[in-house]
Each structure stands twice: as structure tokens, then as C-alpha cells.
Amino acid sequence: MSLRMPGPWKHPKTGVYYLRQRAPTDLKNTPMAGQVTIPVGGTVKTVKAGAIVKVSLDTKDPSEAKSRYRDADAALHEFWQRRREGPQPLTQKQVQALAGILYVRLVDMMDSEPGEEGIWTQVLRLNKGKRERGELDPWFGPSVDALFAEQGVNTDPLSRTRVVHATFTAIQLAAEANLRKAQGDYSPDDARKRFPAWAAEPKQVAEAPRAAGDMDLFALLDHKFATQSRKAKTKDDYARDLGKFVASSGHRDARDVTKDDVRKWRDELIGEGLSPSKINGKCLAALSAVLTHGVKEFNLTTNVARGIRDGRKGAAPVRSKGYTAEEAKAILSATFRGSPKGISMPHKRALFWVPWICAYTGLRVTEITQLRGVSVRHEENTPYFFITPEDGSTKSDKAWMTAVHPHLVELGVLEMFKEVGDGPAFYVPYPDGTDLTKLTGKPRSHEAGTRVGDWITKELGIQAPGGKPNHAWRHLFTTLSRAHDMDKQTRDFMLGSGPEDAREGYGDWPPSALSREIKKLPRLEVDETEWRPSNERVSPQPVRIAGVTGGRGRS
């Protein structure tokens, strides 16, 4: 008799999948009042915490539901673990740090357009009245509770009250800062300096495990990334997989982990339908990397995860990973029709230009959707795209150049970027001064890429190779580069890949050399029209943040 592994629940009437879980049996006598934040498909949902937690995964697709379920399940297990640990009192520094998060959000959100002076004088007066009438909790409590859910805080009533009062002060200071800006005063923000950085738990501080007895998996993870040059996203991925392992095994101390624990987890992952490459290359790799760090730098005896793998063979490919010539031409032809839906102008531009740029560069879709006018450069009349993490992110955290195919120039891509200006072409701009490398949640550039992929699969009805409608262009580009004898080293540089030979890391890549190679690719001939989406500029819009102006609704 086989055990059914937990998974997404399909609503019998709507067909939409849900995460629906009961609280663990060891928590049945623990109060579950409050909220829990659950990641769902690039967004974060806040739902009521109770004996049963239920949240829609917002998809009817079984494979997508499994993927979203895994992330949601990991977040929920982290919530259960915090409930096991019980409410933790907050220090004065943590209280002020949490209030500072709300201060920064309100000030940054209004930085470009602070509005009229009268708005902020009224906010200051109304909030002062709330304090005098003892109404801080009804007005600011919901914002604090939402912040606790977002940051994973499980604290006691006294600490919550302290944060509510600190939030009142922070909001008043933010209103004063915005009032000054409304009056034209953009002098340095001294109030911001008073708030310390938020650290949820001591384990988030990147220190070595304390003494010989502290072999907490997450402490080892923190120390590993504090002493090695690795991407923050990789650490987040590792932490998510470690959370799943802890939920499966019940062990956080590396010395308590056994081979049986690792094998059990591997078998559970297989039961969830994960591929061997995902299980070996991500899940088990994360656990093994942290245990290896404990062996190398501390007194952990052995890495018990070494050698435990998913030995199944991956499914045999049923087709190419890239688009066929017919599929590519069908998509590119459809760009001249756009979408009948009422969508924003940057979205319209993305549907037209992103497939063409994907086809002629092989770049990852988010490297394209985050392109700005300043990303298009010239050297001796040779145009090129400058791909940089400053525009949002790159897989390697490095910058590089890629050539612009003559057909893209003929289609008008250079004029488009010039008219759009220095800002983003394919998503609504953030307020001036926004640091694109430090955005939380799903960046707008990533949303733009998702929309392009959905347009291909859902509106055009073209089956995406491997379920990856945007990544398939990268495979097609690589195939065409081989068919037309493009220099491999030049191609790999333009794709953002590192050189196989260390000597190729010397010197620079002149845009003229890149242009010479990109011209080897033939034109992708389709029936073109004169239609192009408008190149009009779009005004910046602030990030919508819950509850920073009094806790009643979204701002």
C-alpha cells in the first residue's frame, strides 16, 4: 500500500487548485490566530492562520499547481515552525527596525510625486488625534499584523503594542518628510538614519555556528554565504530547500541528520513528481552543500547526503527544446497583430518586440524585458545592447554586450528605445531613484516576461517546448548559430556565458566583432506590416504597499 503524498487540491466545481492543510498534530493545542503569508506564482498572499490553512494557487494547470504548491508548502512549514518556537519578545532595536520598514516604504513610494502640502498636514493632524484618543491600535494594528506576517514575526502582545506605537512615530516622520518634499525641500533624509536594519532572528546574522554544539542547518547556511561570493537568490533557494528538508525530517541540527532522513526526503520529492535534475541539482545539492560546509569548517563528522541521488533517467525528449522554424515564424508574424485585450502600452511593446529580440539575441527573457533606453549604446556607429544587473538582475551578476541584428534595426528597435527614453520600454517605470537591484516581490520586468509567455501559449495557442515559451528562443538561437558557423566564443559571450578557456577571459569584445558574428544569422522572414505599438513614454507608478497610511486598505 503506497502513501499519498501531500499535494494541491483541485476544486471540484471551478477546477482551480488550492493548498489546503491542517495544522500539524503537535500544534493542535497551540493558538493559531493571526495571518500567514504564502507565495503564489510570483505574488504573496496573506491568509488567515487557523486549524486549516487554505489558499488558492490561482491556476488550473496541474504541473504549474505542483510547482506553486511546493513553494507555498515550504512557506507554510516555516510558519508552523515559528509557532512551535512560540512567541519571541522583540528587542528595542527590532521594534524600531520594523517601524523603519514602513517609514522607508511610505517615503520612497511618494518620492517622485509627494502630492499636495495639504494632504500631509491633514495626515499629521489626524494621526495626532488618534494618539490622543487612544486609537493607535485600530488604525495601525492591521499594518503591523500584515508586517509581522510578511516578515515572519511571532511575538508577544507587549512587543506588538511597542511596534504599533513605534509605527505611529515612523508614519508621522514619513508624513513630515513627504510634506517637505511637497514644499520642494529634497534635502538629505536624516530621519531614515534613526532606523536600524531589520534582523528577524539571530540566525539571520551571518556568524559562525556558536561553539561546538551549534550545528543549526540555517546557521551553517548563513556562514557559508557570508564567507563565499554567491548570489543572494541562490541563498534564498538553498534556504527554501532546507526548509522543506527540515519539515520532512524534523531535524535542524546537522548532527542529527541521517542517511535515512535524506533518502526519505528524496523519495518524497520523487513522489511529488519532481524531475531527477531538479531533485539532484537543486534540492539535494542545497542540503549537501550546507553539510559539506559544516565538515570543512566546523566539527561535523560527515556529509550524510553525499552519494544519495535520484538515479532515474530523465524522460526521453519528444521534440527539440527550441521552436521549430514554423513555430518561430507563426509567433513573429503574430507580433504584427498584437493582442485584442486592453493592456498597457509597455505590455503592447513587450508583445511586439520581446519575441523579435529573443529570436535574434538568445538572451533570457528577463534580460530583455528589463532593458531601458540607456541599455542601447553605440561604438563607432555599431549599436549594441548593454546587459547589466543594474537594470534588475542577470544570472551571472555580471554585465556584458550583445550585438543588434540588422533586421532588428530595420524593424525600428533603435528608434523605439530612443523615443521611449532612458527608462524601461516593456514595463511601467518605478519612481525616480528606485534601486532596481533591491526590489522585493516579483519585479515588473519579470511580470512582463510572464505576460509574453502567456500570450504565446494562451492567446496564440502555440505549445511551448518544455513548457518554457520564452526560453525556447534561446535554444533556437543556439541551433541557428551552429547551423551558420557563428564563432562559439563570441556567441557564448553574447549569451552571458563564461569562457571555457581561461585565456579567453583576457581582453575585451569590440562591438564590431560581435556585429560581425550576429550578421551570420539569416533574417527570419515573415509577412510584415507597417504597424508598430506606440513609443509613447509612460509615467512612473509607485509600488502598491499594504497598510502604510493607517492600516485600512491599500495605498
Q: What is the pLDDT of residues 236-277, one digit of tens each?
A: 788 888 988 988 888 888 999 999 999 999 999 998 888 888
Q: Which of 169, 194, 219 is the last residue of a domain?
A: 194
* DSSP-assigned beta bridge partners for residue 45: 38
pLDDT tens-place string over residues 333-372: 999 999 988 899 999 999 999 999 999 999 999 999 999 9
pLDDT tens-place string over residues 143-153: 887 788 777 78
Residue 547 has pLDDT above 70, yes or no: no
Nearest Cα residue to 153 out of 88, 67, 73: 88
Mean of pLDDT over the chain: 84
- What is the Cβ-side half-sphere exposure of residue 204, based on CA atoms within 13 angstroms? 10
Question: Three-state SS for 36?
Answer: strand
CA-to-CA distance for 356 and 408, rounded, in angstroms? 7
pLDDT: is 94 or 159 the higher one? 94
Residue 380 has pLDDT above 70, yes or no: yes
Query: Does residue 537 belong to any structural domain of this protein?
Result: no
Whether residue 330 is found in the same domain as residue 349: yes
Residue 482 has pLDDT above 50, yes or no: yes
Q: How confident is the model at residue 72, as a pLDDT?
A: 81
Q: How confident is the model at residue 379, as a pLDDT?
A: 93
* DSSP-assigned beta bridge partners for residue 192: none
Query: Does residue 178 belong to any structural domain of this protein?
Result: yes
Query: Does residue 535 belong to any structural domain of this protein?
Result: no
pLDDT: is 220 or 552 the higher one? 220
Average pLDDT over residues 41-51: 75
Measured CA angle at 161 (ends 145, 191), to 5 deg: 85
Query: Does residue 176 belong to any structural domain of this protein?
Result: yes
Nearest Cα residue to 482 out of 327, 331, 322, 366: 322
pLDDT: is 173 or 84 the higher one? 173
Q: How confident is the model at residue 127, as a pLDDT?
A: 87
* DSSP-assigned beta bridge partners for residue 334: none
Report helix angle 232-249 to 217-226, nearest 10.
170
Q: How confident is the model at residue 221, as a pLDDT?
A: 86
Do strands 9-10 and 17-22 pair parallel, antiparallel, or not at all (unpaired)? Answer: antiparallel
Whether residue 491 is found in the same domain as residue 380: yes
Q: Which of 88, 105, 136 is the last residue of a domain?
A: 88
CA-to-CA distance for 549 and 529, rounded, in angstroms? 49
Cα distances from 465 to residues 460, 468, 473, 476, 482, in angstroms, run 14, 6, 10, 11, 20
Q: How confident is the model at residue 6, as a pLDDT?
A: 62
Residue 513 has pLDDT above 80, yes or no: yes
Nearest Cα residue to 140 out of 117, 172, 110, 115: 172
Measured CA angle at 199 (ends 551, 553), to 5 deg: 10
- Lowest-confidence range among 66-70, 398-402, 548-552? 548-552
Whether residue 399 is found in the same domain as residue 496: yes
Nearest Cα residue to 383 out of 334, 426, 417: 417
Average pLDDT over residues 311-320: 74
- What is the Cβ-side half-sphere exposure of residue 533, based on CA atoms within 13 angstroms? 25
Whether residue 253 is found in the same domain as residue 359: no
Spatial contact of 455 and 351, defined as CB atoms under 8 Å apart:
yes
Buried residues in 56-87 as b, exposed as e (16+ CB within 10 A): bbbbeeeebbbbbbbbbbbbbbbbbbbbeeeb
Q: How confident is the model at residue 500, as a pLDDT?
A: 55
CA-to-CA distance for 381 and 318, rounded, in angstroms? 44
End-to-end CA distance of the chain: 53
List the domain range (segments joined by +) for residue 335: 325-518
Q: How confident is the model at residue 335, as a pLDDT?
A: 97
Query: Does residue 551 belong to any structural domain of this protein?
Result: no
Whether residue 107 is found in the same domain as residue 256: no
Whether residue 264 is found in the same domain as residue 303: yes
Average pLDDT over residues 531-544: 86
Query: Does residue 555 belong to any structural domain of this protein?
Result: no
Average pLDDT over residues 496-512: 71
Cα distances from 126 to residues 61, 161, 322, 548, in angstroms, run 48, 20, 59, 15
CA-to-CA distance for 243 and 78, rounded, in angstroms? 7
Residue 232 has pLDDT above 80, yes or no: no
Which CATH number covers residue 366? 1.10.443.10
Helix (H) or strand (E) run with residue 54 in it: strand 52-56
| Unique residue bearing C-alpha cell 522554424 | 325
Spatial contact of 118 and 206, defined as CB atoms under 8 Å apart:
no
For 250-406, strand residue ranges (E) read 376-379, 382-387, 400-403
Query: Does residue 548 belong to any structural domain of this protein?
Result: no
Residue 553 has pLDDT above 50, yes or no: no
Cα distances from 278 to residues 266, 285, 314, in angstroms, run 11, 9, 10
Q: What is the count of structural domains for the chain? A: 4
Whether residue 230 is found in the same domain as residue 344: no
Residue 554 has pLDDT above 80, yes or no: no
| Unique residue bearing C-alpha cell 488550473 | 60
Q: Which of 261, 289, 316 is the last residue of a domain?
A: 316
Other beta carbons less than 10 A from residue 316's beta carbon: 5
Whether residue 122 is found in the same domain as residue 230: no
Residue 210: pLDDT band (50, 70, 90) is very low
CA-to-CA distance for 368 and 495, rounded, in angstroms? 12
Residue 315 has pLDDT above 70, yes or no: no
Residue 184 has pLDDT above 50, yes or no: yes
- Lowest-confidence range among 36-40, 41-45, 178-182, 425-429? 41-45
- The pLDDT > 70 percentage for the chain reads 87
CA-to-CA distance for 385 and 515, rounded, in angstroms? 11
Distance from the Cα of residue 458 to its chain's centroid: 23
Residue 555 has pLDDT above 70, yes or no: no
Spatial contact of 53 and 21, defined as CB atoms under 8 Å apart:
yes
Average pLDDT over residues 109-124: 88
Q: How confident is the model at residue 149, as a pLDDT?
A: 74
Whether residue 504 is found in the same domain as residue 377: yes
